[in-house]
Structure 1
């Protein structure tokens, strides 16, 4: 049987959308699908999708070029490869490849919706309204995301399927194999992970941490994630808040880590302070590693992931007092477990095989 040729368009970055794209590529049967990654540059960031791509992965690099030339090169790859399926997991790429759908009627275009509509600008919402209906299939991470696309963007319900993010258990096991505790002090360690951008709410986290610090002195905070380049201004703003709150010496910003899992595994609490998320991968990974969580209810699914009082505590959105209380309680839980499973391998295979 001839294999189906699949092109995965991904940004050269290591956000949740990129990592899920890599995981989906691993899920698909290599005896049925011939997958090639098309790596598109993403600003001037230190991290790279190469940190998570298996060495044997086929790939094409678009290269750093102007936006118009970038679109042409993406078109040229589709023209040259003549794939059976094209996949994209972020709006910034989906809005560039979906217009080509009409030029390649035999190619199936599958896209993944990485965020809720309310987080998008007016122009982005218009792009979703006009372009997403061109896709053959749209993967959303939650049922609320699907409802938004169907009810607000008027996308036909038959095009949209809900597949909650799976956990890359094999990768995590590999990353924590034979690793030691990265923390040197005997304090209780709170950890957070994500790029220093407004979305991640690290300003809220610092304020919550400072409130908790007044109650107990045996804690420190580690933040893993890119804090240079385009994220430098937000990093400086958050660090000024830490200085103003008097906790600058207890906040450790380690920058991007290609392997964040030892820090999460050996932490006493993982904190999610985001203003919004799609489906927070790092939250489900923390619970998978047995680390209790304290999380803003930034999206409805957080309450379905976190068993309040069992493996973590859910805080009111953007409420620093509530998050401080959640962290304080989570520190008492010890090691925890999670019932989260995500979509099955068969469900993902079905979307690509249809």
Structure 2
């Protein structure tokens, strides 16, 4: 059983359970859908409960689908009411057949009180410790309020962190004590990613380019990326940004005088083809949980360069590429690493990235069932 937060259904009415499509509003929703699909593909029964109905990505026919019946717009925003509604829905289902495992993306200080089952695990996708430390610099009161709120979500609950640095952030930085904790990477379908990476997309540049994939925001450090790009020895290579053309981004590009070498291509439904055709994929973030873009790039056979955003960076980078991990906010080190990566031939060892494959990740989820 999988509990969702804001996956949205449009093409079918809520009571329809086959050929359902969703909008991936965030990475956590995409992961939830992937896990549901992987479970049914290996013969398990899955029910997916979501709060809202809305739009556009595929869910396997065999996944049973339920949208919470909350017609009142105000009540949809009241977490205590939504939690009560989830509890009622799940407990009614469990009267028919108890679930072996419940996975929840839903954040609320009111815990899910499942009458017939106790094996409820809560996902932690974000590096909340990094957010807390940033707030400490701005407002101690707001930082402590944030800390209390996050602790209320996860204290004394079973949690699944997507990386070691996310777990460390919860347990050490925020001093939260979960009932149990496990690190389980997000699952990646290697075959699907590689097939999509071979698609022909007309607006992918024919000339050599570096790729960066991220929504524009402070933690992604586009300022660091663009300054490092302006310092490259290689002055002919292009930089492609798969993000929306934010006004601040336009200004940064102008400040670093790289307008003629930067393409802001917007968000793409198939980023894998861009990854496969890039010479290098770069990440310049200050903090990350488990950045999918780096893993997907490796699956596509492309070299990666990144700032040292946390413990999970070492879990992602193959041994031959660890020299491409640089200090955060160090634009000179980042530019030098990119220059070297552009020149060197590096073979990606498949064995080093198999831990992110669906089959390996699924084993860890099934192990949670046995802990019941």
Report the TM range for the smaller structure's normalisation: 0.7 to 0.9
Q: Does 1:142 align with 2:171?
A: no
Deviations 1:280-324 (CA, angstroms, capped at 9, x unpaired): 111011111111111001112213422465476112111111111
Q: Does 1:80 align with 2:98?
A: no
Give the one of 322, 327, 331 matched to 2:342.
331
| Aligned counterparts, 1:17-56, within 5 A | 17-29=28-40, 31-38=43-50, 40=52, 50-51=56-57, 53-54=59-60
- The alpha-carbon distance between structure 1 residues 266 and 60, as it changes in their structure 2 partners (threshold 3 A), is same
Q: For residue 344 of structure 1, give the secondary structure of its aligned residue in structure 2.
A: helix
Give the one of 190, 196, 218 matched to 1:175.
196
**Larger CA deviation: 188-197 vs 32-41:** 32-41
| Aligned counterparts, 1:243-258, within 5 A | 243-258=254-269
On the 8 A contact 2:130/2:169 being kept in 1, the answer is no
Q: Does 1:219 align with 2:237?
A: yes
What CA distance in whole angstroms lies between the structure 2 residues aligned with 1:117 and 1:57? Answer: 31
1:320 is aligned to 331
Decide which structure has greater strand share: 1
Give the one of 101, 107, 128 matched to 1:94.
107
- The alpha-carbon distance between structure 1 residues 151 and 242, as it changes in their structure 2 partners (threshold 3 A), is closer
- The alpha-carbon distance between structure 1 residues 134 and 68, as it changes in their structure 2 partners (threshold 3 A), is farther
Give the one of 201, 205, 211 matched to 2:221.
201
RMSD, aligned α-carbons: 3.1
Q: Does 1:274 align with 2:285?
A: yes
**Larger CA deviation: 244-253 vs 261-270:** 244-253
Q: Does 1:161 align with 2:182?
A: yes
Q: For residue 147 of structure 2, give the secondary structure of its aligned residue in structure 1.
A: helix
1:124 is aligned to 146
Deviations 1:113-137 (CA, angstroms, capped at 9, x unpaired): 11223223433321222231253x2
On the 8 A contact 1:284/1:305 being kept in 2, the answer is yes
1:44 is aligned to none
- TM-score w.r.t. the length of structure 1 is 0.80
Q: For residue 33 of structure 1, give the secondary structure of its aligned residue in structure 2.
A: coil
Q: For residue 285 of structure 2, give the secondary structure of its aligned residue in structure 1.
A: coil
- The alpha-carbon distance between structure 1 residues 310 and 80, as it changes in their structure 2 partners (threshold 3 A), is closer
What CA distance in whole angstroms lies between the structure 1 residues aligned with 2:368 and 2:315? Answer: 24
Number of residues of Structure 1 aligned to a counterpart in Structure 2: 328
Which residues of structure 2 form unaligned runs of 5+? 8-22, 94-98, 133-142
